[in-house]
């Protein structure tokens, strides 16, 4: 018969590890989660299962300012945005509580501090673990790594950030090209 063929995937030659401000990251994850829930709510409403009056709220960025990017729009819901964010954090913290109590990666003092004083601690934990594990994996594979911060793509760092990235990747930068393409 047909024997399964396996092929070894090519090993990455270089890695760009991009960091985003953890607070911005958590707000973005909340906004994404909220959008997914809103889509599901609209789907259920179309199916005739949900009937409720809704008030307008606006999604906020980490600076507590309305997020007016082109991909963000006003979303309708019956609670203020801050209250929704706090509920989301509590829900996630409760969801991962059992795991946190038994993980070898958190010591008891840190676990107690997080539970008491850090809202959305489950999100901070995921953020830290993701970056730590990515960093460890890259180090173990002995692959050259270039670390970038998301905020460095903003002015006045844009050119230096792009130049360092192109240099690391051995690419030539086309200065005549539109930078947003």
Q: Are 145 and 138 in contact (CB under 8 A)?
A: yes
135 versus 181: the higher-pLDDT residue is: 135
- pTM for the model stands at 0.65
pLDDT at 107 over 70: yes
Give every CB contact of residue 178 below 8 A, 6+ residues apart in sequence: none
Nearest to 125, CA basis, from 99, 150, 146: 99
Give per-residue pLDDT as tens, 71-100: 433 444 456 678 888 888 888 888 887 777
Q: What is the mean pLDDT of residues 147-170?
A: 90
Hey, how many other C-beta atoms are within 10 angstroms of the C-beta on 126?
Answer: 16
**Mean of all residue pLDDT scores within the chain:** 77
- Label residue 46 by pLDDT band (50, 70, 90): low
pLDDT at position 103 is 77
153 versus 165: the higher-pLDDT residue is: 165
Q: What is the largest CA-CA distance in the chain?
A: 62
pLDDT at 148 over 50: yes
């Amino acid at each position: 018969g047909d024997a399964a063929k396996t092929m070894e995937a090519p090993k990455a030659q270089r890695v760009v590890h991009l960091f985003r401000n953890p607070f911005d990251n958590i707000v973005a994850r909340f906004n994404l989660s909220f959008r997914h829930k809103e889509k599901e709510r609209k789907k259920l409403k179309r199916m005739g299962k949900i009937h409720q009056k809704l008030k307008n709220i606006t999604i906020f960025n980490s600076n507590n300012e309305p997020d007016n990017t082109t991909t963000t729009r006003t979303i309708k819901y019956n609670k203020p945005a801050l209250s929704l964010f706090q509920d989301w954090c509590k829900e996630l913290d409760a969801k991962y509580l059992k795991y946190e109590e038994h993980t070898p990666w958190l010591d008891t003092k840190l676990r107690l501090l997080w539970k008491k004083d850090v809202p959305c601690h489950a999100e901070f934990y995921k953020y830290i673990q993701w970056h730590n594990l990515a960093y460890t994996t890259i180090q173990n594979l002995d692959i050259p790594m270039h670390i970038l911060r998301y905020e460095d793509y903003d002015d006045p760092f844009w050119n230096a950030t792009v130049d360092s990235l192109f240099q690391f990747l051995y690419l030539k930068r086309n200065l005549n090209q539109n930078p947003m393409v």
